[in-house]
Structure 1
Amino acid sequence: MRPTSPPPVPYHATAARPAWSALPAGLRAAVTARLGVPVVGARTAGGGFTRGFAAVLTTADGGRVFVKAAELARDRHLTDWYAREVAVLAGLPAGLPVPRPRWTLDAAGWYAVGLDAVDGRMPRLPWDPAELTATLAGYAEVAAALATPPAALTGLGLPHLADLARQDILWWVEVAAGREPLPPVPAAVPDRLDDLVALESRLPAYAATATGLLHGDLRADNVLVGADGRVWFCDWAWLCHGPAWFDLVTLLLPAYAGGSDADALFAGHPAAADAPPDALDVTLAALSGYFLTGAAAAPPTAPPYRSAHQRWSGEQALGWLAHRQGWSLGAAPRRPHDAPPPDR
């Protein structure tokens, strides 16, 4: 039996975020005024890989809202992501299992967004079979709704996965050309560079033929399982034109790591119905290079645990690809853990 490989730190404990009480008084006052009633509780989100504020706020009348906020001058990239997510959520078709935007505001040099609070939790990893089945069914619903891009979204100027791949996803070609250092990889990977480059290089052309939209960042920590078993999909800042089967691969990486038959899950999913025969291998090659080189190049100021999770994701993608291709990669390099898990 293939051994399982859990994430280095549980997804629900990866974030380092400011508490509600640590936000500027002017921002807290503006949010409270927008809610219309005092905030009596704040549950900070434990997942994610940014330093932005994210918490479910409870108000005196029993209401709940999920608020994200970041400082405009210091974290402009985050505020841009939040604004883009609000625009995307507002344009997604009605009835999909996604949180809906309520409001946005600027105050005290910060930008904040209020979204519907989803009563749910991240899925258990290794995947609980029932939760995995529900998640894959939920994503089939989302992929079908986005197969023909809604008019409300096409006007947003969304990027294309084909362009994103050329600009920032294909990294094995950079390693092979000597423009990027080889990240820590198993011993036999250098002998497979030509194969990895050949596979990843097909992604832009495959993505360019797709007519629908995909989430673009469909990790397990962007999934919430509701108390009623319904699955919700969150964090929509990276919606782009491209094939839904790309999302399916990123969603299934933890399934492969947990010992599930990820090949069969991919092949049997509606999102992969029109995928090229080697689409899974092409995507795994691209993702392995993207995550492994990203982890190795992370600056010391990067959020805690991001590099560890990038490395883990890259290792799972590379291991899954090697398993499918019948490659023997050899021993992985010894390396220290990036950081101990938080004591909570």
Structure 2
Amino acid sequence: MDTEATDLPPVAFSGSRLNWQDLPRHVRSRIAALAGAQVSSETSATSGFTPGFAAVLELGDGHEVFVKAVSAEQNPQAPDLARREIVVAGALPPEVPAPRLLWSHDDGTWVILGFDAVHGQSPEQPWRPADLDRVLVALADLAVARPLTPNGLLPVTDTMADDFRGWRRIACAPDGPRTHSAARFGERGVWVMAHLDQLADWESGWAVAAAGTALVHGDLRADNVMLDTDATWLVDWPLASLGAPWLDLAFMLPSVEMQGGGDADALFWAHPVAAGVEPHALRSVLAALAGHFTLASAQPAPIGVPNLRRFQQAQAVVALDWLRRLPA
């Protein structure tokens, strides 16, 4: 992909969702039993990358439930992510605007989760200022939330330790693959090659910068937000961890700028959670994030998620541009 082209931002959707009738009969029967009523209709989710089944189900008793159902056939990692989301759901305090997990089932092949059905839509693209303001307020509230105890959440320094070594891995790669990877980014790739050792050095400090005890969603983007008339819902929590309270803002802003929401650096420093953040800490985390997106976007597409790599590369472009704008 030519990242210098002025094409539209990639769509955050896997394109491989299952419908109700695609589910095996025993899975449909289990869902109906867990929900306590027969399913009369479905409204499929139209955003997000996780393959499998994701839909609001209307039940014969008039109630609704949002159901996810995944197996390794759709994607080898999907069941473990669903299992992780079950653990995270038990750690979310009531003040966090996340749909409540009602029930779950894991037969070793299919993992099924049933949530309160919440309504609304993902923010329009490009971002409208009023929508972005609502999400930024929700991030300020999330930054002061603390998970319930005891819980099974891990420090972000553990959950992202392998992902946040991108520049160091690229620096150790043979010249051919390294040059080919840089070429995907045009002029930005030239800058990366000239500053690779510095990027790896910045990245190496991310764990110290990111450590903390705040609840971190870890994967916030427009497609993981739902805006109702009077509520802002943060959804899809399998990557949640413990870390610095400003991480979700920093992690989300490359996608916000990519989708027309404004300058990521200006938005970061204007937000309340940025108070007291050292510029070198932001640089380290941003370098790690940019390295992760850069390296991940060069990998083959995961099974059932064909659009993910293009989305990651688009975020890498914005993260690199933000990194280059930071004061020396």
* C-alpha distance in structure 2 between counterparts of 1:4 and 1:127, whole Å: 17
Change (3 A) 1:6 1:246: farther
Letter in 1 for 2:209: Y
- Stretches of structure 1 that go unaligned for 5 or more consecutive residues are 327-344
Letter in 2 for 1:175: I
Matched, 1:112 2:112: yes
Q: Is the CA contact (8 Å cut-off) linking 1:69 and 1:110 kept in structure 2?
A: yes
TM-score (norm: length of structure 2): 0.87
Q: SS state of the match for residue 294, structure 2? A: helix
Deviation of 1:73 (Å): 7.4
Look up the match of 2:206: 203
- 1:188 aligns to 2:183 (yes or no): no
Contact 1:256 1:320 (8 Å CA) reproduced: no
- Provide the residue aligned with 1:17 in structure 2: 17
Shift of 1:317: 0.6
Is the partner of 2:223 in helix, strand or coil? helix
Is 1:41 aligned to 2:41, yes or no? yes
The C-alpha deviation readout for 1:77-126, integer Å capped at 9, x for no partner, is: 32222222123223211132110000112469422110111101111122
Please show how residues 37-186 of structure 1 align to structure 2 within 5 Å.
37-71=37-71, 77-106=77-106, 109-146=109-146, 149-153=147-151, 156=152, 158-178=153-173, 181-182=177-178, 183=181, 184-185=184-185, 186=188
Tell me, what secondary structure is at the counterpart of 1:15?
coil
Determine what percentage of the aligned residue pairs are the same residue.
38
Q: TM-score, normalised by structure 1?
A: 0.84
Correspondence for 2:273 among 271, 274, 286: 271
**Does 2:240 match 1:245?**
no
User: For 1:179-224, what per-residue CA distance to the aligned partner results, in whole angstroms no more than 9, with x for missing partners?
Assistant: 694322233320021221122111012123x232311112221111
What is the count of residue pairs matched by the alignment?
A: 315
| CA distance, structure 1, for counterparts of residue 285 and residue 6 of structure 2 | 21
Q: Which amino acid aligns with 2:149?
A: A
Work out the CA distance in 1 between the residues paired with 2:321 and 2:10: 16
Alpha-carbon contact 1:120-1:225 (below 8 Å) kept: yes
Q: How does 1:255-294 map to 2 (within 5 A)?
A: 255-257=256-258, 258=260, 260-294=262-296
Opposite residue 323 of structure 1, the aligned amino acid is R
Secondary structure (helix, strand or coil) at the match of 1:145 reads coil
Which residue matches 1:227? 229
Is there any run of 5+ residues in structure 2 with no aligned partner, and where? none
Spell out, residue by residue over 1:18-42, the C-alpha distance to the aligned partner (whole angstroms, 9 max, x if none): 1111101111112112222221111
- Relative to structure 1, the CA distance from residue 165 to residue 32 in structure 2 (aligned partners, 3 Å threshold; closer, same or farther) is closer
Q: Given residue 41 of structure 2, which amino acid in structure 1 is its aligned partner?
A: G
SS at match of 1:281: helix
Letter in 1 for 2:195: R
> Of 212, 215, 218, which aligns to 1:216?
218
Residues 6 and 126 in structure 1, CA contact (< 8 A), matched pair in contact too: no
Matching residue's letter, 1:235: D
RMSD value, Cα: 2.4
Q: Is the 8 A contact 2:246 2:273 kept in 1?
A: yes
